[in-house]
């Protein structure tokens, strides 16, 4: 059964079409992503499918029994409604069914005519089936589950929607869509305004749901977890690929390689034929030339490779700094009634790439501004290393003057930078042609972001501090920025909600949560691995309990710090159970053993191994050895994380 059919959709906003014959089908249970560079027309296509905008030509057909739900970007709510009222309104159809069921039950109890009673009972059974299918007797639980999963505290359920922030209103729209359970969900940037915890909850919810969906998102981690098909929208048309975003990238590269070879071979053949025609058209071999001209006219031209070019991006080599680029000692910061971070200490070494991770509102941007000296600390100090020159990317792009041309915006104050050098720099970040002469305020969000990154590259900084640098960047520009930062030989600290970006760039993570923090050696996958094992949570609890007991502090009270002998004697009083090892070494050992355990399980499924009794005995012994070693390694990791 075809749930949605999109056929030959076209749409113009100028001389060139944005959509030039888009065609694809969606079936029940398919979870497709719609990907393409900024400006390709993804949102326009979504609005046409949702009947919020008209196509110039073509047709969209939804199965007659299917319901479609569209996540709009501009919320409109009933005045005076609370969060709970709005969420409950998404279930109005089910509430009406429940009311109809009660009325039918009363009618059946009083009906004496057998045929009419049978008809009422049949209808009652059908409605009961629908109520059971939609879990209608647990509506309040469903509302609570979805609101809390998307970051709404129970205390906010009775808040008026008109007083919510824009981000909260968008999250409420998403909650209503999930509650309504349409057969096909159109999700345009559903993870916008969600922190990582809420995004992970949404991923799990969508994975478990049976509805089909078409999603536009710049979150590659989200796409990898939730989608099983990828639709690439480029140059006005759609190409379909099986699998999630990572599989799409692999298949796209393979398909592109074939397209390039086929196109280049044909172009060589055409060039040879054109040369022959040009040389012999008026000579003795005129007839041969004429035959080749006719043959050339009949050739079906292979289209040019469908390649989405990413801006190359890149930062200049960094000047050398001291070994310690930045030292933060006992940083504490909060606002009235809202503590953010407390007693935070860390060293950033030359060449390290630090990612800062944490829920919305925990103070990540505030921490960056404290490190920069833009905000005063309540306690503690920040010390910069020798020869450090900071470059700052502000997610609000406040350093760019909206009335200034892009070409002037990247002009550095510390050196002469000729116009051609500035144009070359902007081109490296994807700002080309007449865009360089446009005022910043007239550029799109992605173009402004890339101009700000080019300006950062022109600053010759050796220590980059970045606040959400991937905002407004499409998937290809994000990949280029990741590569540029990995190859940058200076130091970096950045805040990002993009877990894929964190995986590709970070060598260390600072996990910031209200009232506590933790450093992880590795990227987001490393952190996720230890969270799944429960080690991070257990280690945090152990450290907090240990520090409070030593300081005689009450629960929730910060222990008094002592930078002298008492700290040393504290560690001496608690003896190590295991010999000293660096945390990264233990993590590597754990990962190696877990990988071997997985490989051994796969070997046990091999027929060749199962026929060899001595081999089975040997592998079982090895498996037992690895499985018995893991609990000790986990304990060793906890001890090293706490005491090193």
**Residues 537, 542, 543, 548, CA torsion sign:** positive
Q: For residue 632, what pLDDT band results from cuts at 50, 70 and 90? A: confident
Pairing of strands 463-467, 338-349: unpaired
**Residues 415, 419, 424, 427, CA torsion sign:** positive
Distance CA 60, CA 53 (A): 12
Distance CA 289, CA 156 (A): 81
Dihedral angle over CA of 90, 93, 94, 96, nearest 10:
130
Task: State the alpha helices, DSSP H only, in 230-244.
Answer: none
Q: For residue 7, what pLDDT band results from cuts at 50, 70 and 90? A: very high
Backbone angles phi, psi at 578, to 5 degrees: -120, 155
* Predicted local confidence at residue 386, as pLDDT: 95
Q: In what order do the strands lie in the sheet with 57-62?
A: 17-26, 4-12, 57-62
CATH of 1-67+182-243, one of 3.40.50.300, 3.20.20.150, 3.50.50.60, 3.40.30.10: 3.40.50.300
Taking CA 127 as the corner, what is the angle to CA 118 and CA 105, rounded to the nearest 5 degrees? 55
| pLDDT tens-digit series, residues 103-121 | 888 888 888 898 999 999 8
DSSP state of 400: S
The full 3-state SS of 318-353, as one line of letters, equals CCCCCCEEEEEEEEEEEECCEEEEEEEEEEEECCCE
Distance CA 552, CA 458 (A): 52
| pLDDT tens-digit series, residues 196-211 | 889 999 999 999 999 9
- Examine the pLDDT at 255 and tell me if it is beyond 80: yes
Q: For residue 570, what pLDDT band results from cuts at 50, 70 and 90? A: very low
Task: Average the pLDDT over 585-593 and give the result.
Answer: 81
Distance CA 143, CA 87 (A): 7
CA distances from 583 to 114, 336, 460, 633, 642 (A): 78, 37, 34, 11, 10
CA distances from 187 to 41, 50, 134, 175, 426 (A): 15, 11, 21, 12, 33
* Predicted local confidence at residue 569, as pLDDT: 40
Taking CA 191 as the corner, what is the angle to CA 190 and CA 194, rounded to the nearest 5 degrees? 130
Share of the chain above pLDDT 70, in %: 92
Q: Are 388 and 323 a contacting pair, CB within 8 Å?
A: no
What is the rounded average pLDDT for all residues in the chain? Answer: 88
Q: Mapping DSSP to helix (H, G, I), strand (E, B) and coil, where does residue 240 land?
A: strand
| pLDDT tens-digit series, residues 344-380 | 999 999 999 999 998 887 889 999 999 999 999 999 9
Same fold, 1-67+182-243 and 324-529: yes
- Examine the pLDDT at 490 and tell me if it is beyond 80: yes
* Predicted local confidence at residue 610, as pLDDT: 65
* Predicted local confidence at residue 561, as pLDDT: 44
Distance CA 89, CA 446 (A): 36
Strand ranges, E, within 218-262: 229-234, 237-242
Q: For residue 35, what pLDDT band results from cuts at 50, 70 and 90? A: very high
Distance CA 222, CA 246 (A): 11
- Examine the pLDDT at 389 and tell me if it is beyond 60: yes
* Predicted local confidence at residue 514, as pLDDT: 67
Q: In what order do the strands lie in the sheet with 390-393?
A: 390-393, 463-467, 491-495, 353-357, 508-513, 516-521
- If one counts every other C-beta atom within 10 angstroms of the C-beta of residue 334, the result is 15
* Predicted local confidence at residue 567, as pLDDT: 42
**DSSP notation for 24-92:** EEE-TT-EEEEE--TTSSHHHHHHHHTTSS--SEEEEEE-TT--EEE--SS----TT-BHHHHHHHTTH
Q: Are 430 and 311 a contacting pair, CB within 8 Å?
A: yes
**Residues with Cβ < 8 Å from 413, sequence gap 6 or more?**
none
CATH of 78-180, one of 3.20.20.70, 3.40.50.300, 3.40.190.10, 3.50.50.60: 3.40.50.300
- Side-chain half-sphere exposure of 640, counting CA atoms within 13 A: 18
* Predicted local confidence at residue 84, as pLDDT: 94
Q: For residue 607, what pLDDT band results from cuts at 50, 70 and 90? A: low
Q: For residue 560, what pLDDT band results from cuts at 50, 70 and 90? A: very low
Q: Which residue has the higher pLDDT, 552 or 458?
A: 458
Q: Are 159 and 167 a contacting pair, CB within 8 Å?
A: no
Distance CA 160, CA 157 (A): 9
Beta bridge partners of 26: 4
**Residues 355, 361, 365, 369, CA torsion sign:** negative
Distance CA 114, CA 118 (A): 6
Distance CA 216, CA 37 (A): 11
| pLDDT tens-digit series, residues 56-104 | 999 999 999 999 999 976 777 888 899 999 999 999 888 888 888 888 8
Backbone angles phi, psi at 559, to 5 degrees: -70, 140
Please state the separation of Cα 497 from the chain's center in Å: 7
| pLDDT tens-digit series, residues 144-196 | 999 999 999 999 999 999 888 888 899 999 999 999 999 999 999 999 888 88
* Predicted local confidence at residue 538, as pLDDT: 53
End-to-end alpha carbon distance in the chain: 60
Share of the chain above pLDDT 90, in %: 61
- Examine the pLDDT at 616 and tell me if it is beyond 80: no
By the 10 Å C-beta count (0-12 exposed, 13-18 middle, 19+ buried), 94 is classed as buried
Task: Average the pLDDT over 272-281 and give the result.
Answer: 90
Q: Are 355 and 496 a contacting pair, CB within 8 Å?
A: yes
**DSSP notation for 122-160:** HHHHHHHHHHHHTTGGGHHHHHHHHHHHTT--GGGTTSB
* Predicted local confidence at residue 139, as pLDDT: 85
324-529 is classed CATH 3.40.50.1000: no
Task: Average the pLDDT over 49-53 and give the result.
Answer: 95
* Predicted local confidence at residue 605, as pLDDT: 64
Q: For residue 548, what pLDDT band results from cuts at 50, 70 and 90? A: low
What are the residue ranges spanned by the domains of the chain? 1-67+182-243, 78-180, 248-298, 324-529, 544-643
Instruction: Tell which residue, 496, 544, 543, 491, has the closest CA to residue 523.
Output: 496
Which region among 27-36, 183-192, 555-564 has the lowest average model confidence (pLDDT)?
555-564
Q: Are 170 and 101 a contacting pair, CB within 8 Å?
A: no
- Examine the pLDDT at 455 and tell me if it is beyond 90: yes
């Amino acid at each position: 059964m075809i749930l949605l059919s999109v056929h030959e959709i076209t749409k113009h906003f100028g001389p060139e079409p944005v959509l030039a014959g888009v065609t694809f089908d969606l079936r029940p249970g398919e979870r497709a992503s719609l990907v393409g560079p900024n400006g390709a027309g993804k949102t326009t296509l979504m609005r046409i499918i949702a009947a919020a905008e008209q196509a110039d030509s073509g047709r969209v057909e939804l199965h007659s029994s299917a319901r479609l739900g569209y996540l709009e970007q501009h919320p409109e709510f009933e005045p005076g409604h609370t969060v709970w009222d709005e969420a409950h309104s998404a279930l109005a159809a089910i509430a009406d069914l429940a009311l109809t069921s009660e009325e039918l039950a009363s009618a059946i109890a009083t009906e004496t005519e057998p045929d009419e009673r049978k008809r009422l009972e049949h209808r009652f059974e059908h409605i009961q089936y629908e109520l059971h299918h939609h879990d209608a007797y647990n509506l309040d639980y469903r509302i609570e589950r979805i609101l809390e999963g998307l970051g709404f505290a129970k205390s906010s359920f009775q808040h008026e929607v008109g007083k919510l922030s824009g981000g909260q209103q968008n999250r409420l729209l998403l909650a209503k869509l999930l509650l309504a359970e349409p057969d096909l969900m159109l999700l345009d940037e559903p993870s916008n305004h969600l922190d990582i915890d809420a995004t992970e909850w949404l991923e799990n919810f969508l994975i478990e749901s049976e509805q089909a969906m078409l999603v536009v998102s710049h979150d590659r981690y989200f796409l990898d977890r939730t989608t099983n098909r990828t639709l690439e929208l480029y140059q006005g048309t759609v190409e379909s690929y099986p699998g999630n975003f990572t599989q799409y990238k692999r298949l796209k590269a393979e398909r592109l390689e074939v397209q390039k070879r086929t196109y280049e071979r044909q172009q060589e053949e055409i060039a040879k034929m054109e040369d022959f025609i040009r040389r012999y058209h008026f000579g003795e071999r005129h007839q041969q030339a004429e035959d080749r001209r006719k043959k050339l006219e009949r050739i079906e031209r292979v289209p040019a490779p469908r390649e989405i070019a990413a801006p190359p991006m890149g930062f200049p080599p960094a000047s050398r700094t001291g070994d310690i680029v930045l030292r933060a000692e006992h940083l504490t910061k909060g606002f009235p009634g809202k503590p953010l971070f407390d007693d935070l200490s860390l060293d950033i070494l030359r060449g390290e790439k630090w990612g800062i991770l944490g829920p919305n509102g925990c103070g990540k941007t505030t921490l960056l501004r404290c490190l920069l000296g833009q905000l005063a600390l309540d306690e503690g100090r920040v010390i910069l290393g020798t020869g450090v020159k900071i470059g700052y990317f502000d997610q609000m792009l406040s350093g760019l003057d909206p009335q200034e041309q892009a070409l002037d915006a990247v002009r550095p104050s510390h050196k002469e930078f000729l116009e051609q050098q500035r144009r070359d720099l902007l081109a490296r970040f994807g700002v080309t042609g007449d865009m360089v002469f446009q005022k910043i305020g007239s550029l799109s969000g992605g173009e402004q972001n890339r101009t700000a990154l080019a300006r950062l590259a022109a600053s010759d900084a050796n220590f980059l501090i970045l606040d959400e640098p991937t905002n407004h960047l499409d998937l290809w520009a994000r990949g280029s920025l990741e590569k540029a930062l990995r190859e940058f030989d200076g130091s970096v600290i950045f805040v990002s909600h993009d877990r894929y970006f964190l995986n590709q760039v970070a060598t260390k993570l600072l996990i910031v949560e209200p009232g506590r923090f933790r450093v992880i050696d590795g990227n987001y996958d490393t952190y996720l691995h230890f969270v799944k094992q429960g080690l991070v949570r257990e280690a945090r609890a152990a450290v907090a309990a240990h520090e409070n007991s030593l300081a005689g502090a009450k629960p929730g009270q910060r222990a008094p710090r002592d930078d002298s002998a008492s700290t040393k004697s504290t560690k001496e009083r608690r003896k190590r159970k295991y010999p000293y090892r660096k945390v990264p070494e233990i993590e590597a050992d754990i990962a190696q053993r877990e990988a071997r355990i997985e490989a051994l399980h796969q070997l046990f499924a091999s027929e060749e191994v199962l026929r060899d009794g001595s081999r089975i005995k040997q592998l079982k012994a090895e498996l037992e050895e690895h499985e018995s070693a893991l609990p000790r390694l986990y304990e060793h990791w906890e001890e090293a994380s706490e005491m090193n």
